[in-house]
């Protein structure tokens, strides 16, 4: 939400997407402050339902391409997916490549050769969204799905935090503990900034109009 506030192109990306998931307790809080009445069950965290999605793809014969993570992560994820969905059509490539030029073209050629029904892209925000926009017309797939660090969590490469924290709005604290150098700005500075913006918008919307 802070990115959407600060970067118009990212805000447009969210607003023009066909489907946007509520994956954070901060979004739930902000929505409720504006009277939308969302509950915790409305929160859909990718890491919690990725296996259900994969099983649905197998049942409906929808192919999947994973473009995410450090080298080796997609291989681990594919092995886990094939263990529960042996008939799934799936390929992958790591996310550590030059996002322009010849290397990018080679990755796109690999995706297009497979022609996946769904392309999962996990570079982290907002790099993954920028890549999707920049390559939207070149990539042959039915659906683009930004997935963030989902595969890192799914393959146990990065610790996510215990369930009692993730279910109570404290996942950010666990992630900050495990990756303080990378995430301190997002949470230490970003959380209060997000709350301030929500409260400011709420106060502004409640002010009477004198027109």
**63-115 per-position pLDDT tens digit:** 999 999 999 999 999 999 999 999 999 999 999 999 999 999 999 999 999 99
Residue 22 has pLDDT above 80, yes or no: yes
122: helix, coil or strand? strand
Count other C-beta atoms under 10 Å from residue 80's C-beta: 17
Calculate the average pLDDT of the chain: 89
Residue 208 has pLDDT above 60, yes or no: no
User: Which of 43-47, 112-116, 148-152, 167-171 bottoms out in mean pLDDT, i.e. has the lowest?
Assistant: 167-171
52: helix, coil or strand? helix
Cis amide linkage into residue 126, ω under 30° from 0? yes
- Which is more confident, 21 or 163? 21
pTM metric for this prediction:
0.87
Burial track 87-125 (b if 16+ CB lie within 10 A, e otherwise): ebebbbbbbeeeeeeeebeebeeebeebebbbbbbbbee
- What domains appear along the chain, each with residue ranges and CATH number? 1-44+184-201 (no CATH), 46-158 (3.40.50.2300)
Residues 155-178: pLDDT tens digits?
Answer: 988 877 777 777 777 777 877 788
pLDDT of residue 210: 42
């Amino acid at each position: 939400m802070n990115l959407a506030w600060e970067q118009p192109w990212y805000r447009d990306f969210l607003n023009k997407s066909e489907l946007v998931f509520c994956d954070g307790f901060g979004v739930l809080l902000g929505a409720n402050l504006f009277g939308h009445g969302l509950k915790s069950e409305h929160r859909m965290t990718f890491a919690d339902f990725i296996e259900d999605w994969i099983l649905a793809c197998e049942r409906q014969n929808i192919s999947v391409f994973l473009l995410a993570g450090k080298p080796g992560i997609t291989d681990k994820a594919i092995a886990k997916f094939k263990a529960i969905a042996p008939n799934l059509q799936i390929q992958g490539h790591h996310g550590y490549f030059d996002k322009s030029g010849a290397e990018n073209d080679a990755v796109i050629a690999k995706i297009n050769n497979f022609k996946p029904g769904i392309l999962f892209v996990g570079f982290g925000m907002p790099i993954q969204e920028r890549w999707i926009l920049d390559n939207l017309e070149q990539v042959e797939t039915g659906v683009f799905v930004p997935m963030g660090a989902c595969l890192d969590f799914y393959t146990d490469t990065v610790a996510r935090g215990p369930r009692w924290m993730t279910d109570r709005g404290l996942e950010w604290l666990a992630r900050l503990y495990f990756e303080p150098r990378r995430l301190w700005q997002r949470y230490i500075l970003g959380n209060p900034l997000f709350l301030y913006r929500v409260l400011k918008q709420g106060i502004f919307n409640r002010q009477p109009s004198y027109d």
